[in-house]
Amino acid sequence: MNRVYNFSAGPSMLPEPVLVKAAEEMLDYNGTGMSVMEMSHRSKVYTSIIENAESLLRKLMKIDDSYSVLFLQGGASTQFSMIPLNLFSKYRKADFINTGNWSKKAISEAKLYGTANVIASSEEAKFTYIPEDYKLSEDVDYVHITSNNTLEGTRFMSFPETGNIPLVADMSSEIMSREIDVSRFGLIYAGAQKNLGPAGLTIVIIKNDLIGKHLNITPTMLRYETHSKEKSLYNTPPCYSIYVAGLVFKWLDDMGGVKTIEKINNEKAAILYNFLDESEMFANKVNKKDRSLMNIPFAAPTDELNEKFIKEAEQAGLSTLRGHRLIGGMRASIYNAMPVEGVIKLVEFMKKFELENK
């Protein structure tokens, strides 16, 4: 077996010990004589799996009881409609900071149910920075940001001060990668398939006082209230993905939690950015102080070099480095599960490639 360093933007690398454990327990979880995939979601043993996952998630992100933690389906794309359907309770209007492709999708979906007020955008500069010059509205139900932009490689270093207005953040591509103060947010959501586990699981962390105010056209399955009341067991949840996410949470907790991984993530990103800043071939065009720790787009001067790079990197065991089609070039996604060695190997390869192709 020859594991590769996989720089996919998502689904993406999982910690190897998590996969080993999942494989070991595949036919018989903990002496039950069945796989986690085969268990009734109402059974005692599965209840302990989901409760354990929630409790580790709360511990890792320091989430208190004024928030509900929900294990949902449908990805961030479903949240784009679920959020306005549940939070457009007074003004039917929200402020948006447009920082990229995923922000745009969130904006477009909110418009189905009310007013999406774009108070700032970096679209004119191809989303290479995080806007800081904006005025928040007073007559909005929430303020929405995409805290880390997977395609464009930017992130909010600090978050807007929204006072009494709930701040809503799509953290899909950076959740649990750095310490954040959850109490600053009304709602945090994230697809699991980048930092948390397999695709098919969406995490929502929502302040309890935002629950139960959905529009009456909201499908039952798209009401936060439905899932909050039933502790994510209104219907069959994505059981196996929750189990694997729980293993990832345990892995992270055992290593020292988010504080520790943040340090490692800073180290990993620095290795790559430092090289990019010195390189005469590869460039990252993002405003330095807004650079993402998780998604690092870069490019050589020509499409031919980019293609050659992607191909040769793949052969060297550095997988899935092609950039998103909207951005082009390359992108290294270096989520929590990417070891430091993977980034070191990537930089060594880039140096070699630069020498060979100059």
- Annotated binding-site residues for pyridoxal 5'-phosphate read 76-77, 102, 150, 170, 193, 235-236
- Assess 239 for contact with a copy of itself (CB under 8 A): yes
- How many residues bind a copy of itself (CB under 8 A)? The answer is 70
194 is catalytic: yes
> In the complex with a copy of itself, which residue's Cβ is closer, 160 or 200?
200
Task: Choose the catalytic residue: 95, 141, 194, 250.
Answer: 194
- Assess 43 for contact with a copy of itself (CB under 8 A): yes
DSSP string, 178-224: S---GGG-SEEEEETTTTTSSTT-EEEEEEGGGTT---TTS-GGG-H
Contact, 294 vs 318, CB < 8 A?
no
- Assess 241 for contact with a copy of itself (CB under 8 A): yes
Quick note: the x/- pattern for a copy of itself over 286-325, rule CB under 8 A, is -------------------------------x-xx-----
Distances (CA, A) of 301 to 25, 285, 306: 48, 12, 8
Contact, 294 vs 155, CB < 8 A?
yes
Phi, psi dihedrals of residue 292, rounded to the nearest 5°: -70, 145
Contact, 159 vs 145, CB < 8 A?
yes
Question: How many Cβ atoms from other residues are within 10 Å of residue 2's Cβ?
Answer: 4
Binding-site residues for L-glutamate: 42
- Assess 70 for contact with a copy of itself (CB under 8 A): no
Phi, psi dihedrals of residue 357, rounded to the nearest 5°: -120, 15
> In the complex with a copy of itself, which residue's Cβ is closer, 186 or 198?
198
102 is catalytic: yes
Phi, psi dihedrals of residue 321, rounded to the nearest 5°: -95, 0
**Cis check: omega of the bond before 11, within 30 degrees of 0:** yes
> In the complex with a copy of itself, which residue's Cβ is closer, 8 or 357?
8
- Per residue in 166-176, is it b (16+ CB within 10 Å) or e — as a string? bbbbbbbbbbb
254 is catalytic: no
Residues 6+ apart with CB under 8 A from 194: 9, 10, 11, 12, 150, 172, 173, 174, 175, 294, 333, 335
> In the complex with a copy of itself, which residue's Cβ is closer, 17 or 256?
17
CA atoms within 13 A on the CB side of 261: 30
> In the complex with a copy of itself, which residue's Cβ is closer, 74 or 212?
74
Q: How far apart are CA 320 and CA 333, in angstroms?
A: 9
- Assess 26 for contact with a copy of itself (CB under 8 A): yes
Phi, psi dihedrals of residue 162, rounded to the nearest 5°: -110, 5
- Assess 3 for contact with a copy of itself (CB under 8 A): yes
- Assess 89 for contact with a copy of itself (CB under 8 A): no
Phi-psi region of 158 (alpha: psi -120 to 50; beta: other; left: phi over 0): beta
> In the complex with a copy of itself, which residue's Cβ is closer, 42 or 288?
42
Q: Which residues, numbered 91-120, are part of the site for a copy of itself (CB under 8 A)?
A: 109, 112-113
Identify any residues that bridge with 96 across adjacent strands, giving them in sequence order.
Answer: 118, 144
Nearest approach, Cβ of 179 to a copy of itself (angstroms)? Answer: 25
Nearest approach, Cβ of 198 to a copy of itself (angstroms)? Answer: 4
- Assess 58 for contact with a copy of itself (CB under 8 A): no
Quick note: the x/- pattern for a copy of itself over 171-210, rule CB under 8 A, is --------------------x-x---xxxxx---------
Among 100, 160, 238, 257, binds a copy of itself (CB under 8 A): 238
- Assess 251 for contact with a copy of itself (CB under 8 A): no
User: Site residues (CB under 8 A) for a copy of itself?
Assistant: 1-4, 6, 8-14, 16, 19-20, 22-24, 26-28, 31-35, 37-41, 43, 73-78, 80-82, 85, 109, 112-113, 191, 193, 197-201, 216-217, 219-222, 234-241, 244, 317, 319-320
